[in-house]
Structure 1
Amino acid sequence: MKFEINSIHENKVWTLVDLPGGIKHIGCKWVYKKKVDVDGNIHTYKLRLVAKGYTQRQGVDFDETFLPVPMLKSIQILIAISTYHDYEIWQMDVKIAFRNENLQEVYMTQHEGFESKEASKLVEKVSNRRQPLIQQQKPSTLLLLKQRRKLSESRNNGVIRPSLVACRATPQKWTILEATSELTKPHQIILNGQSFKDEFSMEYEQKLKDIREILKSEELENQIESLMLVDAIQRLDVNYHFQEEIEAVLRRHYMEATTSFDGYTLHDLSLFFRLLREHGFSISADIFNKFKGKDGVFEGKLKQDIRGLMELYEAAQLVTEGEDILDEAAKFSGQIVSGRLKHPYHRSIARFTAKKYIRDFQGINGWRKTLKELAKMNISVAKTGNQQELAKISEWWKNLGLAQELKQARNQPLKWYTWSMASLSDPSMSEQRLELTKSITFIYIIDDIFDLYGTPEELTVFTRAVHMWDYAIVQMLPKPMKMCYKALLDTTNDIGYKIYKKHGYNPIDSLKSAWGSLCDAFLVEAKWFASGHLPTSHEYLENGKVSSGVHVVLVHLFFLLGVNRKTGGAVQVDDISELISSVAAILRLWDDFGSAKDEQQDGNDGSYIECYMKENPGSTIETVRECVIDMISSDWKHLDKECFRLNKNSSSSSFTKASLNIARMVPLMYSYDDNHQLPILEEFINSTLFDDTFLVHRP
């Protein structure tokens, strides 16, 4: 009790004064409490001086509150932020607390047992800058957030596992249930007024430095081990940190390579071929002829070399049109190892397969140990950044208001962001991911407008408006289209301006042209299905490549990444038309391959298979699907050829990698199961955005 009184006096909480006329004072009382331990034994006697706020009366002073009582939502937000940023929550005892703001003057009777004998009729005037927390009992604890300092402090074998608890993915909505802007704010540790770089970041930077030094040095046991290091870096999806070093290693190998490749095993030569071709080095598939017998087929003894066959199968995935030897290699090795390699590296999203590779990664010493630790930390870093971006996209989508205006359209920001997250894995490309997601959003929304909201005549007006790109036309559009049209112009113009600020030119004309072409293709499809007319399979596919929206995505991506500027004008947007066509064909055919429709689409959609079977009445669904699989394989070959051509200019490598990642994402986005769900996509999102234990909930 004396401690409490001394603290009040030291902080000059009140002064004794005469009660002014017309002012009512409030009473106070001592509150006593016993604190017990886990066994029920009393270990502390506590007391507090509290004001009798309950004497207030309705209609007089009942609404005057002297204590900001925390709402339950505030506590929930606090816990959500701490979980998201992987903070620890610390509890501190509070001996005394004050409000640091102005209130009206408060007068209180002198506290029992400590009345002034000389001035017993005076009351206590509470200081305007030292008002205690009255009306209710003072809180005895204060929750503090502290950033987790060490990777090893986490519970799951040293892996930090932050969760964005304010989000949930459902296969019906792929939407974000709740997100707070607080989650997007950066944080730092502050102690005694000083900011410190946390230990995790310093350890992370050190491991990056260690791997970079190993790549530059010649300490590796042999040439092949340096290739194995590069391969591991790529499979663990940390290669964007070491692009220059990897390029130097591969160039050295390319310059030192001989035509005979004496001493190279099947594994070594396959690895050499795959890595160099991926990075744009000109290397012929004929180097594999050394493993053929006199009969012109791969030697039978190779079937015992499982490790070599697995790498040969991986290398064969980089086949281009006319490379029969790689087709033969894929068939020969696939008979033995295709079951073990269901997801070849070249056709997979590295970030999706990285966790499995970490689990299977052998080696506890040297660069393997360092690289494995770095990969685990990198997953945490990337996940945190992606969660913050997802919160920003959620806020942008909410503020846009289209979900409320177009209630039948898809509301799937989580799914839209996943495209960008998968295509651009480099954490430094946050701005590009956000802007690309906005463009992808409008592809889906405009698609739904053409499917669900307009007659052919109204859609024709909308298409013309997009070509004109004029705000004055908004009033001519049907109501459901007005908000979408204005938002499209606002967003695209803003993207163009941001590209101008970053790269020195505004590609708005190319962006407008891409949107106009997309609406043209949507309009063609709308007229086909409104008339009940099915086009030929060729007509359908050529138009479907455009209506897939791939060209809109890749044109935006081309300029967001500054390819034109980085290559010194050597690569123009027209140079990527063949690449766009290949990715678009892969997406369109995969989309049509399954019979299931997207969960929220109530409009009419045709398919390539439907058009083909109408042209060929005697064909069966099985034979048509086999035909589609062959077409997808052929388009992959053409895509690889275009990527290898563009990769000869290393400044375009980020664009070709992103383009490949979009093609790699297609099976995840369109592999529906019998329940019309997307289990592989759910697994990918859970793996990359949420904790492994966080499952996608089905309602």
Structure 2
Amino acid sequence: MSAEQEKIIRPIANFPPCIWGDQFLVYDQMKQEEKNATEQVVEELKHEVRKTFANLYVEAEHANLLKLVDSIQRLGIGYYFEEEIDKALQHVYDAYGDKWNGGCISLWFRLMRQKGFFVSCDIMNNYKDNDGAFKEKFANDVEEMLNLYEATFLRVPGEVILEDALTFTRARLDNMAKDPECFNNMFSTEIQRALKQPIRKRLPRLEAIHYIPFYQQQASHNKSLLKLAKLGFELLQLLHKKELSQLSKWWKAFDVPKNYPYARNRLVECYFWAQGVYFEPEYSQSRIFLAKTLAVATILDDTYDAYGIYEELMILTEAIERWSTECLDMLPEYMKQVYQMVLDLDNDMEEFMSKNGKAHHLIYWKEAMKEYIGSYMAEAKWRKEGYTPTPEEHTSVALISCGYKFLLITSLVGMGDIITDESFKWALAFPPLVKASCTLCRFQDDIVTHKEEQERNHVASSVECYVKEFDFSEEHVIDLFIKKVESAWADMNLESLVCKDVPMPLIMRVINFARVIEVLYKYQDNFTHVKEELQYHVKSLLIDSMSK
């Protein structure tokens, strides 16, 4: 950057540097003979588990069938048995509809709703006595309390009985957590984890890391299932390490610390984000595209938010709108590389999609990118003018600038035949499911980042907009936003049940994007300030081996 540029007063944020260095450039590979042998064992174990499925279709075993499905999903190997799980849950639904009577009510309810069956919450009245109070006989059953608690997070707006059940179970579990002698110690960690983050909000891969040792402690665990979970985790971790190594080599060539010292250098965290959206092996190329897009979008975000001046940003916005290498000459020197990165990413995706006759899908990606950058420019204009928008004005822009609509559309690129033109058009139309995910992202982000952002010349966040418009205290606004986040989850639950024309893999991308926010922004900005918790997650997923 030239001396003349440095004389310009810029809203520099002084973000912390990358903490990972070059450690992900290379990775320890499994010898091919060992890999082949492991894959052979995995196939044999999958066959064993499929036989277990077949033995549980009789009516007397339906509760155990549900428990098997739950264990498989929480062990992180649901992608091995998608057909079997779909068939099992359809079998249970066909047999009972809303009239389930096989015990494990809360587990049945959660699994059904997770899979898209809009079963009635009226069945939860079984937990209440004639006076409408929750029965005390359930209150001291730790496993039942946990299952009921977890089921409440599949509620949709207006389901009062589930809201009451949440209040009831949360209080009971909180008391149990404070008095560990009153229950089996094996459940102590499970209760604490549930109170911090319920299953509905957990990333499946992180859930597997914690659930595998818990499952192993249970005397009734299925040995084949446990071994399969460990070997499956190991094989998939190898693929993820390979992907991150490829990405690290790609990223290193841009020399971000030198060329973009004002920006967050967060490739590893971007890969963690993409891995949270989809970890399954069949989405490898899509995951790489999403991680690259996240990394480039982070530089663009910080260019608009934490370095660029208004006149420069106008030029960059015009260049994105025109989308041509001819625009390079009109850009300030420091912007040229990131603009070229955008064009190159588009070319890489187009080359891949052309092989499947779907290069035209990139039209939707470009449209979403232009909308995303346009929202940044709108915020830059507010910042330049010192304008605090009304909450309505702010929300109309901020739900786009949070990036989740654009990133969702990015995540669909390369997912396979299940994603069609209609899928992209649906996402671009900003349907309620996508809007709810963006709402969650925007408000949860602002809850934890607004104070730090306002310490520099930054556009007003939604917090400042609400404080000014309604003369609320900051604390009251934060409480309001926490409720908005919970409402957004309920809205996503509803839409995931009623969007029958939308493939479940697409719906799960939206849900998983929301889950990533629950990890990265729940209590602090873990993306900008990579502290112990996120470091632990990254190491567990991408460095440490699963204990045998």
For the superposition of Structure 1 and Structure 2, which TM-score range results when normalised by the shorter chain? 0.7 to 0.9
> Which residue in the other structure is 1:423 paired with?
277
Distance in 2, matches of 1:602 and 1:396, equals: 32
| Alpha-carbon distance change, 296 to 364 in structure 1, aligned in 2, over 3 angstroms | closer
Match for 1:434: what amino acid?
I
> Which residue in the other structure is 1:666 paired with?
517
8 Å CA contact retained: 2:56, 2:64: no
Choose the corresponding residue for 1:310, options 122, 141, 146: 146
Choose the corresponding residue for 1:690, options 534, 543, 546: 543
| Alpha-carbon distance change, 565 to 662 in structure 1, aligned in 2, over 3 angstroms | closer
> Which residue in the other structure is 2:9 paired with?
none
Q: In the TM superposition, what is the alpha-carbon distance from 1:516 to its structure 2 partner? A: 0.8
8 Å CA contact retained: 1:458, 1:478: yes
Choose the corresponding residue for 1:240, options 75, 79, 95: 79
Q: In the TM superposition, what is the alpha-carbon distance from 1:273 to its structure 2 partner? A: 1.0
Match for 2:392: what amino acid?
H
Secondary structure at the aligned position of 1:408 is classed as: coil
8 Å CA contact retained: 2:201, 2:518: no
8 Å CA contact retained: 1:499, 1:505: yes
> Which residue in the other structure is 1:227 paired with?
66
> Which residue in the other structure is 1:653 paired with?
504
8 Å CA contact retained: 2:152, 2:163: yes
Deviates more, 1:387-396 or 1:572-581: 572-581
Map 1:243-282 onto structure 2 (within 5 A).
243-257=82-96, 259-262=98-101, 264-265=102-103, 268-282=104-118
| Alpha-carbon distance change, 372 to 602 in structure 1, aligned in 2, over 3 angstroms | farther
8 Å CA contact retained: 1:550, 1:583: yes
> Which residue in the other structure is 2:184 paired with?
none
TM-score normalized by structure 2? 0.85
Distance in 1, matches of 2:119 and 2:496, equals: 14
Distance in 2, matches of 1:207 and 1:227, equals: 19
Q: In the TM superposition, what is the alpha-carbon distance from 1:606 to its structure 2 partner? A: 3.2
Choose the corresponding residue for 1:349, options 187, 199, 203: 203
8 Å CA contact retained: 2:361, 2:421: no
* Greater strand fraction, Structure 1 or Structure 2: 1
Larger Rg: 1
> Which residue in the other structure is 1:48 paired with?
none
Distance in 1, matches of 2:438 and 2:508, equals: 15
Distance in 2, matches of 1:312 and 1:616, equals: 38
| Alpha-carbon distance change, 630 to 571 in structure 1, aligned in 2, over 3 angstroms | same
Distance in 2, matches of 1:329 and 1:543, equals: 36
Match for 1:621: what amino acid?
E
Match for 2:154: what amino acid?
L
Map 1:163-562 onto structure 2 (within 5 A).
172-174=16-18, 176-178=20-22, 183=27, 188-189=32-33, 198-218=36-56, 222-257=61-96, 259-262=98-101, 264-265=102-103, 268-338=104-174, 340=191, 341-342=194-195, 343-361=197-215, 368-502=222-356, 504-562=358-416
Unaligned runs of 5+ in 1: 1-170, 190-195, 694-699
Distance in 2, matches of 1:567 and 1:368, equals: 43
Cα offsets for 1:435-468 (capped at 9, x unmatched): 1111111211111111234221221121122111
8 Å CA contact retained: 2:294, 2:407: yes
8 Å CA contact retained: 2:263, 2:299: yes
Distance in 2, matches of 1:286 and 1:233, equals: 27
Q: Percent identity?
A: 28
Q: In the TM superposition, what is the alpha-carbon distance from 1:624 to its structure 2 partner? A: 1.7
| Alpha-carbon distance change, 614 to 502 in structure 1, aligned in 2, over 3 angstroms | same
8 Å CA contact retained: 1:211, 1:367: no
Match for 1:203: what amino acid?
V
| Alpha-carbon distance change, 408 to 565 in structure 1, aligned in 2, over 3 angstroms | closer
8 Å CA contact retained: 1:597, 1:676: no
Distance in 2, matches of 1:301 and 1:407, equals: 60
Cα offsets for 1:333-354 (capped at 9, x unmatched): 2221255222211111122122
Cα RMSD after superposing both structures:
3.1
Secondary structure at the aligned position of 1:295 is classed as: coil
Distance in 1, matches of 2:431 and 2:67, equals: 34
Unaligned runs of 5+ in 2: 1-14, 178-190
Cα offsets for 1:90-114 (capped at 9, x unmatched): xxxxxxxxxxxxxxxxxxxxxxxxx
Secondary structure at the aligned position of 1:502 is classed as: coil
TM-score normalized by structure 1? 0.68
* Greater helix fraction, Structure 1 or Structure 2: 2
Match for 1:238: what amino acid?
I
Distance in 2, matches of 1:237 and 1:296, equals: 38
